[in-house]
Amino acid sequence: MQTSQSKSPWLWVPPLYFVQAVPYAVVMSLSVIMYKDLGISNSDIAFYTSLLYLPWVIKPLWSPLVDMFGTKRRWTVLMQMICAAALGSLAGVLHMPAFFTISLAILWVMAISSATHDIAADGFYMLGLRQKDQAAYVGVRSTFYRLGNLAVQGPLVYLAGEMTKASGDPAQAWSVTFVVLAIAFALLVGWHQFILPRPDTDHAVAKSANPLKDFVDTFVAFFRKRDFWLIVGFILTFRLGESQMLKLVVPFLRDPVAAGGLGMSTSEVGVAYGTVGVTALVLGGLLGGFLISRWGLKRCLWIMVFAVHLPDLVFVYLSQTQPQDFYLISGFIAVEQFGYGFGFTAMMMYMIMVAEGEHKTAHYALCTGLMALGMMVPGMWSGRLQEYLGYQSFFIWTCLATVPAFIMAALVKIDPEFGKK
């Protein structure tokens, strides 16, 4: 299948998905913590950072271009270079009077580049591995993606928190944090330029003299998939509760007890949520990938749907009781994140199954775009909803919002053998 099969997937799959996670985690998670430290309101944080999902929503519009022009390898490395430059740029703007507007513009550049990188890297994964190896490495892929999240949300958040304590200047602390991240990210880009294989099948796939026709045909083929509306419904509803909760977890942890939060410091959030929580999420992802490779996606689906949603109840408990024991809070967060990591593996494999076929790169991008749409729209108004309801009622609502995912799981159709080794 490829001339570079001698390059072990262990050399490139782990760092590729570690790097893929970094800009996404910066845009979706680190920005929330940074803006909270810099005094932005919950409603503005939730609205504007949720709006940043838009590039992941609309990336299917340009995903055929990644198929039609150049190689997935070239697109992957180029987008990584742009993200590295954007990370460095963030470090220089946080002391400016209009820092919020300028930093959002940089985050938009990073989001567009990261979304394009996702298209190319996911396509490269499917080209660079034989089909029988894709399920085997999905746990590795998921694990290192989560480790990328851990690196961003754990040590970096802790660093920013400790520097803020020492200097009293959160803008300076976050600037230094972004410098550190930009340098580390650039080193990984250099590694990929050297180590990524060059599959024989990694080439432009336009098959006629009419690129516009190829472009349109890619979308038409997706819309003609069997049970199209079940596919759309399942992907859109799978994260409906999480999409609202995700943007408010860090504000909840950071807000003072009098405001309904837990009153944790930035450093404590970096340890409890960004390190303990993400570590549990990684372990859950590993277990999920292992079980799917043994039993197949169909047999694992229901246990994974329950695992990804039921642990959301821990935030109902935390918001009702507002405990101040750091270890207790960390333990509950670990339970929730383990369940999410374990259960979300089902969605990853489901999208790979849906994307199978001639246009797998573009069709996988369409699946992830639908998933991003399901995250963006509810997330945009979640901040105002939380401010209206308060944390206690808000977290109850997010748990109720998981019900559609259970309904769609009962309707969706899955090949009994898909995912097995």
**DSSP per-residue letters across 113-130:** HHHHHHHHHHHHHHHHS-
The pair of structure tokens assigned to 260 is: 């309904």
Ordered by start, the domain boundaries in the chain are 9-196+215-411
Predicted pLDDT of residue 4: 44
Q: How confident is the model at residue 34 (pLDDT cuts 50, 70, 90)?
A: very high
Q: From the CB of residue 90, how many other CB atoms can be counted at a distance below 10 Å?
A: 25
Predicted TM-score (pTM) of the model is 0.78
Question: Could you confirm whether domain 9-196+215-411 is CATH 3.30.450.40?
Answer: no
Residue carrying the six token digits 């430290």: 37
Residue 6 predicted with pLDDT over 70:
no
Residue 251 predicted with pLDDT over 80:
yes
**% pLDDT > 90, the chain:** 56
Residue 226 predicted with pLDDT over 50:
yes
Residue 136 predicted with pLDDT over 90:
no
Predicted pLDDT of residue 361: 73
Residue 362 predicted with pLDDT over 90:
no
Q: Who's near 11: CB < 8 A, 6+ residues apart?
A: 195
Tens of pLDDT along 87-134?
A: 999 999 999 999 999 999 999 999 999 999 998 998 888 777 776 676
The pair of structure tokens assigned to 80 is: 């990584």
Residue 65 predicted with pLDDT over 90:
no
Mean pLDDT of 156-185: 94
Predicted pLDDT of residue 391: 96
The separation between CA 296 and the C-alpha centre of its own chain, rounded to angstroms, equals 23
Predicted pLDDT of residue 2: 42
Predicted pLDDT of residue 364: 84
The separation between CA 229 and the C-alpha centre of its own chain, rounded to angstroms, equals 24
The beta strand positions in 22-125, using DSSP E, are: none
